[in-house]
Structure 1
Amino acid sequence: MPINSKIPAVAIILLAGALQLQGERHPKEEFGRAIFNAYRTNDLDAFFANSIFSLNETTFRAFLKDVRNRELRENLISLHKLSFPKDATNEQKWEEAFKHNWREQWRHLARNSRKEIHEQAFSPVLEGAARYDIQWKTTKLVAIEAFLPVTWTNVGFKIKGDTDLDLGASNPRTFFVDRDLTYRLRLDNLTYAKAFMVGLDEQDSEKAYGHGILGNGAGEGDVLIRFGEKTPNQLYYFCPDQKGAGGNILVKDATDANKPNQRTDILLTFTYGQPTRFYQILVRDVIQTRSGPLFCERPEWIGVVERPLGIPEAP
């Protein structure tokens, strides 16, 4: 059987868990559905409740104090106006910077009124949809995916993502993946002709991993990943033609706290009209909190797109 004839079946398997109507979904899938429904029903309150702006002073302080995200911590440390002791560790610098600066960060967040959020984050997507005469009641959400751009640097592949706190404990190029969540890795022009491969060995293309992945070994376009309970806890991504161009893949359960709290863009794909067309919304910088996933940046209306890899044609 030709390889191409297998792709629709694989795609359906990849997406089957993403939009199942029953059973427990990944928190970021629940989040994506909530955001889509907020737009679909013009519900600003629901939209606001899924944003970082919904945190009160107490919950924001608790979130920021324990955040396991190197970039966010370094940003706050850089804002600290007092000098640190010469022998201060990174953790000591964080504790000092947090103590003196967390409240100002909260005040900055609290200055954003609901009216501003409506005008700057909510309405632009509705206005974008209106330009296509979309009637939200007849739209259908078909995919909720973590969207990760991939580029090529002088040391190999670079997947968008925040790094862990302790670089001695995990390589900064380690790619953390949650089970039961679909990831769309988009290879940019710099990766052209450089195969992006996922496998059981850090360099051996003969041991490419073939379960829950679409487009493995691609040198351009998208690679779609959705790992499940049978996926090994550790895999590798690499370029078969260039040694050392990849890194580890650590596969985690959604409830496993032993991973960095990364900001992730969530890509929503929905259909509308006859003939059916595909549209997308990108919800930027979604981060896990005790209140669940919340977005930190305004969503982007992408508009109409060609049918994405891995999404079956509409009936």
Structure 2
Amino acid sequence: MSSRTATRLLGAFAVPALALGLSACGADEEPASSEGATSADEGAAAALSPGEAVLASVENLSASSYKMESAMTVDGVDFMAMTGMYEGENSQASADIFMGAMMEASGETMTAEEEAMMGGLLGDMHTETVVVDKVMYMQMSGGMFDAMAESFGEDAWFTMDLTSDEEMAQAYAQYGGMDLGQQTELMLSELENVEETGPNTFTGTLSADSEAMSALSGSTGADAAAAIDGTEVTVTLDDNGLLKTMSMTMPEIEGMTMEMTSEIVEIGGTYDIKAPESTNLHDFEELSGGLSGM
């Protein structure tokens, strides 16, 4: 596997996955209760079309706080594991990206020269991301990021005002801001060929031409969005018709298939999300400059 291939795969899957997972719930409407559903409610839900049922399920994300767990695999091999906690417009997420999974899934081997050339590109990476008052703080370590510790220190956090940078602000607005409810509703509203494939289970596909994918291409690159054109999305609902899980099966790339599953595991928790207590803060542009020089 060449370094270019590895980079393409990282951009096509890890970046969109993190973009989806780092979103925080900021809906202004009151939380939808999953308790005490009446028979009338259940009857109304049963009368919805598959597409309407999927959209209605997003009401679950209007809760004031929740915890979500996500996992991504490459041909069944763990590629990413992430846990996110969300309170209003604030969020905190940690992610582990196992780059070696791509190598294992591809079945390819590298020569000693290739291993030396790629360096830490395929090393496992870890990210911590906090969003407070529309300011993002991100800390990265492992893999390609280890070399940056020499310049910034191991405890460095990179910051970005999500509303001040014009390009980021545009992507922020187009893709639902940091509101997972809006993002998910946008994505699910553009599912094509939605069918009920089982009890409380619905399946559809995404197009690279959709608004959701167009916004994604603006923030992560057209190649990343095009790579997930035709992605199959499966949504499962709980007994009250509220969103429980969302799984994405992405088209085969470089002979490999990637799948991502997100599950809301808790609603109504208290997470005390706050900005990092660190003085080693750097503008995100410094991170971009550091990566370009690697």
Question: Which TM-score band applies after superposition, normalised by the shorter structure?
Answer: under 0.3
TM-score after normalising by structure 1: 0.26
TM-score after normalising by structure 2: 0.28
Larger radius of gyration: 1
Q: Which has the higher helix share?
A: 2
